[in-house]
A and B are shown apart, each in its own frame.
Chain A
Amino acid sequence: MRMAVAVAVMTFREAVRDRILYLLLAFALVMIGAARFLALLTVGSEARIVADTGMAAIAFFGVLTAIFVGVSLITKEIEKRTAYTILARPMTRTIFVLGKYLGLLMTLWVNAAVMSAGFVLLLALRGDPILPVLPALWLTAMELAVVTALALFFSALATSSILGILFTLGLYVAGHLVWSFPLLAGRLAQGWGTRVVMLVYYVLPNLDRFNVRAAVIHGDAVPLEFIALQTAYGMGWSILLILAAAFAFSRRDLT
């Protein structure tokens, strides 16, 4: 585990040197700040627009960072041949993958924490309630954990970063459209087609479930039980994907 922590710290240090991270962070902070000005253009709903724009910016730029930084994690190590040096030490590939994941997750959560601090400050300056947005921010962090694991999995599997980004983006999109699969199954004639669609429905991670922003902006309470279940769901998927990434990486020929 100490090795995994060492890789995680190294990954964190490397990631914070990545300029794309600061670029996306800057965009996100500008967008959160711009919410204040967007609210001036509306008729009513100012608080809603500030909250919705802020939460959407944190989620969107967090996911972009997870995909663009996450996918290059292992492919870059192989391309630069630094992976060979690291793996020459007494360390399994699984520990290496786990360390990479933890390092990137730490980076993303620090990133999300900076964005959330800016957002909460904006809400406080406006006198808007802060407590109701916390469940949405937490579940966004959990979604980032899953997307990071997904990016890592494709990073371990794909031979180039571009392919990894495309696969991760594709699965991210599919993960947000999972809710529409039962609707599609309902339109098909009963048979293999519906079974396949429903199988995909159950097999894909349902990323849309992490989105409680609509409930938050409409003032609905998000039950603690739901948050706990969703956290467990996110953790479960993250573990599965890290294991799959470790398996894929262990089978990869590095010679």
Chain B
Amino acid sequence: MNRRRAGVAMLVLLALVLVAGSQARLLAHPLEEDAGRRLLYLPNGRFLQVASLGYPTFVADMIYLWSIQFYGGYSDRMDRFAYLEHVYGQVIARLDPRYVDPYLVGALIMVIEKKDVEGALKLLDQGMAANPKDWLMPYEAGFWAYDTAHDFDRAADYFRRTMEIPGAPASTRRLHAGMLNKKGDKATSLLLWSEILAEAGEDRVRATAANHVHDLQIDVDLGRLNDLAARFQARAGRPPRGTEELVTAGLLPGVPLDSDGRPYVFDPVTGEARSTSPFRLRRR
């Protein structure tokens, strides 16, 4: 009996040594560390849609949770981001196209970790197409286009799309106006800021809008004056000495004044129109 017990104990010990020993070696195995390899086995969402047998949203949840743990953990391997678009755009988005958070989180990881703002905007575009009533995705895309890609044209377009969706925050109009200004469409930006100023309910918003209107009005006027100065030069063969000369030449109905009621002047050296009032906002 004792020999039998000793035999069983030996067997248990042997099994434990086998498990613990192999486990220790396996954990240090290069295959174990190959993060990207695990993703190779994640099937396409179109297949998973069928294989989920009526539980596609649940499978989408589980893969989303897994992705948070996978991409949230620290690793210095860059190849783990190689399948980001596959995980979020091909798998989760196909399983549940209306699942908004994975689009936002996927885009965030693409921008911050993978430094792939184009991929992020593509993923958010896919999310917008599937969720046209959700304002968060165009808002987020506008932010990434502005802050990271510095593509003010696209940012303005994303913010325009955001502000057209019911429920979008009021600040989106200001962001849209700001992007138009940054991309150089100062006339439209002035129009939008003027509307925001007229409708502003809060003192803070009113003050911000007033500052933008002040500076944009000067910008728009200077642009127009420079155009007229060029036409004057073409006729007279010299730049105008002041705005009065443009009135005399019939190019302006009256002497224009800037936002502070001061006249514009022309630089005697460059011939460029400039304002005698300081801009209220920092120029970039």
Instruction: Please classify the interface of chain A as helix (H, G, I), strand (E, B), loop, or mixed, using the class held by over half of its residues.
Output: helix
Number of chain B residues close to chain A: CB under 8 A? 18
Q: Indicate whether A189 reaches chain B with its CB closer than 8 angstroms.
A: no
Q: Are B58 and A56 in contact (CB under 8 A)?
A: yes
A64 to B68, CA, bound (A): 30
Q: Which of A185-230 contact B (CB under 8 A)?
A: 207-208, 211, 213-214, 217-218
* Chain B contacts for A60, CB-based, 8 A: 55
The 4 residue pairs across chains A and B that have the minimum distance between CB atoms: A56-B58, A44-B101, A176-B54, A45-B101
Bitwise, B11-55 to A at CB < 8 A (1) or not (0) is 000000000000000000000000000000000000000100111
Which A residues from 77 to 112 make CB contacts under 8 A with B?
A: none
Specify which of A43, A48, A177, A211 is in contact with B61 (CB 8 Å cutoff): A48
B110 within 8 A of A: no
B68 and A42 contact, CB distance less than 8 A: yes
- Kindly report which residue of chain B lies nearest to residue A143, judged by CB atoms: B54
A131 within 8 A of B: no
Q: How far is the CA of A225 from the CA of B196 in the complex (A)?
A: 45
A180 touching B50, Cβ below 8 Å? yes
Q: Are B104 and A44 in contact (CB under 8 A)?
A: yes
- By beta carbon, the residue of chain B nearest A41 is B65
A75 proximity list for chain B (CB < 8 A): none
Given contacts A38-B65, A41-B68, A43-B105, contact A217 B54 (CB under 8 A): no
Separation of A60 and B52 alpha carbons in the complex (Å): 11
Measured CB to CB, the closest approach of chain A to B270, in angstroms, equals: 54
> Are B53 and A52 closer than 8 Å at their CB atoms?
no
22 pairs, A vs B, C-beta closer than 8 Å? A38-B65, A41-B65, A42-B65, A42-B68, A42-B101, A45-B61, A45-B99, A45-B101, A49-B61, A49-B65, A53-B58, A56-B57, A56-B58, A172-B53, A176-B53, A176-B54, A177-B53, A180-B50, A208-B54, A211-B54, A214-B96, A214-B98
Q: How far is it, in angstroms, between the C-alpha of A30 and the C-alpha of B64 when the chains are bound? A: 21
How long is the Cα–Cα vector from A42 to B98 in the complex, in angstroms?
A: 17
User: Is A173 positioned at the interface, with any CB of B under 8 Å from its CB?
Assistant: yes
Q: Does B56 contact A (CB under 8 A)?
A: yes
Number of residues on chain A facing chain B (CB within 8 A) = 25
Bound CA–CA A14/B64 (angstroms): 41
> Are B65 and A52 interface neighbours, CB within 8 A?
no
Instruction: Say how far B139's CB is from chain A's closest CB, in angstroms.
Output: 15
Bound form: Cα–Cα A53–B64 in Å: 13
Q: Which residues of B contact A207 (CB under 8 A)?
A: 54
B75 at the interface (CB under 8 A from A): no
When A and B form their complex, what is the total count of cross-chain residue pairs whose Cβ atoms lie within 8 Å?
52
In the assembled complex, the Cα of A172 lies from the Cα of B104 at a distance in Å of: 35
Chain A nearest Cβ from B45, distance in angstroms: 14
CB pair A173–B53 under 8 Å, yes or no, is yes
Chain B residues within an 8 Å CB radius of A177:
50, 53
Does the CB pair A44–B105 fall under 8 Å? yes
Is the Cβ of A217 less than 8 Å from the Cβ of B57?
Answer: yes
Chain A positions within 8 Å of B2 at CB level: none
Expressed in whole angstroms, the minimum distance between the Cβ of A180 and any Cβ of chain B is 6
Residue of A nearest to B56 (CB): A214
Contacts of B50-95 to chain A: CB distance below 8 A: 50, 53-58, 61, 64-65, 68-69
| A17-53 to B contact mask, C-beta < 8 Å, 1/0 | 0000000000000000000001001111100110011
C-beta contact mask, A137-169 vs B, less than 8 Å → 1, else 0? 000000000000000000000000000000000
A218 to chain B, nearest CB (A): 5
For the complex, what is the distance from the CA of A59 to the CA of B50, rounded to whole Å?
17
Residues of A within 8 A of B105 (CB): 43-44
CB neighbours (8 Å) of A218 from chain B are: 98
**Roughly how many angstroms separate A45 CA and B58 CA in the complex, as a whole number?**
12
Kindly list chain A residues whose C-beta atoms are within 8 Å of the C-beta of B50. 177, 180
A72 to B16, CA, bound (A): 40
Q: Which residues of B contact A45 (CB under 8 A)?
A: 61, 64, 99, 101
User: Once bound together, how far apart are the Cα atoms of A49 and B104, in whole Å?
Assistant: 16
Task: Give CA–CA (A218, B134) in the complex, Å.
Answer: 12
- CB distance A42 to B57 under 8 Å? no
B58: A residues at CB distance < 8 A = 52-53, 56, 213
